[in-house]
Structure 1
Amino acid sequence: MSGAQVSWARMVAENELRGVLPRRWAHSEGVAQRVVGLARVLGEDADLLASAAVLHDVGYAPRLAETGFHPLDGARFLRDVHGADERLVRLVANHSFALLEAEERGLREVLEAEFPLLEQPLLVDALVYCDMTTTPDGDRTTVRFRLAEILGRYGTDGVVGRFIRRASPEILAAVGRTEAALVAQPR
């Protein structure tokens, strides 16, 4: 995956995250690296997924934080400042079951209205897989370890903890579907 969109996405994410949030940047790079193993399953959408993967957490950049909800802030930045591809923006906005976290934050209606969920289940699941099998430092991990790490970092009673507890069955299912697609697709 080395198309123009991927190069642009990497540059944008690096500019926004590397200096101010180096660990978040390492995670984003690791998530994008996970896409390489999915290219044969995704075909022509592999570059789109790689772009979404490296940009999925761009909304954490302090200068972009308007609502404090990184999927929404990142998607608005990509749409409003960069005029990014609609599918890319919708993937960033909805990555890893963000609608459930948006609900916890009272922002579900806003997120759904501005950035409807992309109706490409394999692509949506693949981004969940890449995000939820990558540590905060960009290393590979299991989805169960990642879920436990998030709960350990944020606690179980805060917004993120409540979201992760609610979303865990969906996250596990998405990762499972992606792994099944990898097994079913010949090399």
Structure 2
Amino acid sequence: MSTLPPDWAKEIAEQELAASLPRRWAHSQGVARQAVRLAPTLGSDTALLSAAAVLHDVGYAPRLAGTGFHPLDGARFLRDSHGADERLTRLVANHSSALLEAEERGLRHLLELEFPLIEDQVLVDALVYCDMTTAPDGEPTSSEQRVAEIVGRYGGDSMVGRFIRRAEPLIHAAVVRTEERAAVAGVQPR
């Protein structure tokens, strides 16, 4: 089993995030580590999850911030500049209930049109799990602590605060489903 995301994905994420957003890069590396832990639950989708995990926040890179909505900006960058696989771009575009944030920003229709939600619930849940059980510094955390940290950082009345509170039940449910799948596969809790 590989201990790192596919080299090309890691290189792209590092190039875009390491210097300009080192904390975001630390988070992305932690999300990738969580993906490696889940490998026994994913079979042939292990490499896809690893790539999506390390790249999920690439749209935060200042030079890529076209709309200011990082899931959409990141997915467009991966599609347009790297010819990335459609499943990968759709995962990046829709990670962690991004449709709800897109709705807050008036971008839901655009996101759905360009990057329809991937229908593989196991894969979607796994990426939510990886993202929402990793703190900004890359260390493991609980989804409850992660949501509280996001609300605290952005403020409850901010666009992100409103979105994350709406997404919270979906996030926790995805984490529970993933932990149940992991337990069946013999994967130890974080």
TM-score (norm 1): 0.97
Instruction: Name the CA distance, whole Å, in 2 between partners of 1:104 and 1:123.
Output: 24
Change (3 A) 1:79 1:4: farther
Q: What is the DSSP-based 3-state SS (H/G/I as helix, E as strand, rest coil) of the residue aligned with 1:81?
A: helix
Over 3 Å off, 4+ runs: 1-5
| Residue 121 of structure 1: aligned partner | 121
| Residue 97 of structure 2: aligned partner | 97
TM-score (norm 2): 0.95
| Residue 111 of structure 2: aligned partner | 111
| Residue 145 of structure 1: aligned partner | 145
Change (3 A) 1:125 1:4: closer
| Residue 57 of structure 1: aligned partner | 57
Verify the 8 A CA contact 1:104 1:159 in the aligned structure 2.
yes
| Residue 184 of structure 2: aligned partner | 184
Unaligned runs of 5+ in 2: none
- 1:185 to partner: Cα distance: 2.1
**Residues 107-150 of structure 1 deviation map (CA, whole Å, 9 limit, x = unaligned):** 00000000000010000000000000000000000110001000
| TM-align CA RMSD | 1.4
Percent sequence identity over matched residues? 68
Instruction: Name the CA distance, whole Å, in 1 between partners of 2:140 and 2:166.
Output: 23
Unaligned runs of 5+ in 1: none
**Residues 25-73 of structure 1 deviation map (CA, whole Å, 9 limit, x = unaligned):** 0000000000121111001101100000000000000000000000000
The number of equivalent residue pairs is: 187
Instruction: Name the CA distance, whole Å, in 2 between partners of 1:158 and 1:17.
Output: 24
| Residue 68 of structure 2: aligned partner | 68
Verify the 8 A CA contact 1:125 1:174 in the aligned structure 2.
yes
| Residue 79 of structure 2: aligned partner | 79
Q: What is the DSSP-based 3-state SS (H/G/I as helix, E as strand, rest coil) of the residue aligned with 1:134?
A: coil
Paired letter, 2:109: E
| Residue 36 of structure 1: aligned partner | 36
Paired letter, 1:137: D
- 1:5 to partner: Cα distance: 7.4
